[in-house]
Amino acid sequence: MGRAQVRLSLKARALQLLAQRDQSRLEMRRKLLYHAERATADQGAGEGEPDARSDEVEAVLDWLEANRYLCAERFAESRVHAREERFGNQRIKTELAQHGVKLPADVAEGLAESEFRRAAAVRMRRFVAPPRDAAERAAQSRFLAGRGFSADVIHRLMRQVGEAALAAGRDEPAGPG
């Protein structure tokens, strides 16, 4: 025997999704339209009115925003918090833009101030040793660029890592003698 499925209204479905994590309006619209289309198809109504479904979803989204269940600023802050330790500013901004959300100025300022430190931490987690040659330096730089760190930050970090490796090499004893 299978479990009976409970048909949720669009508003109930939206609240259920928001209880799991913050969502952007664009993401919520996509999920609710899918839910509305499935509900219409399950009722045997055929294709239904796409405009009516879209209007109903927009009304639910407006209600969610009016009651502060759906908030672009909160979504941006939670997404930044989840991504900031692993990714650079460019990657975070691109991801938010895909959700139709702009990065708040105060959050962007905080990310810019911490980008060098975050890039150094990401590099240390992936590459424990400093690069031995130009090929390793390029590989580490490409890795950081793929994570969305700016070229300026990568250049400064790789220069600092190289200088630290040189300084550590000079401080070591020459060996038994």
User: What is residue 124's predicted lDDT score, i.e. its pLDDT?
Assistant: 95
Decide if 46 is inside a domain.
Answer: yes
Where among 20, 40, 66 does a domain terminate? 66
Angle at 26 between CA 100 and CA 49, to 5 degrees: 140
**Residue 161: C-alpha distances to residues 85, 86, 109, 135, 158 (Å):** 19, 19, 25, 15, 5
- Looking at the predicted structure, is the pLDDT value of residue 169 above 50? yes
**Six-digit token pair at 155?**
């250049």
User: What is residue 166's predicted lDDT score, i.e. its pLDDT?
Assistant: 86
The predicted-structure confidence for 91-148, as pLDDT tens digits, reads as follows 999 999 999 999 999 999 999 999 999 999 999 999 989 999 999 999 999 999 999 9
158-165: average pLDDT: 92
Q: Are 83 and 148 in contact (CB under 8 A)?
A: no
159 and 95 within one domain: yes
How does DSSP classify residue 133? S
Domains of the chain: total: 2
103 and 33 within one domain: no
Decide if 5 is inside a domain.
Answer: no
Average pLDDT, the chain: 88
Decide if 148 is inside a domain.
Answer: yes
Q: In which domain, by residue range, is 111 found?
A: 73-170
The predicted-structure confidence for 36-49, as pLDDT tens digits, reads as follows 888 777 776 555 56
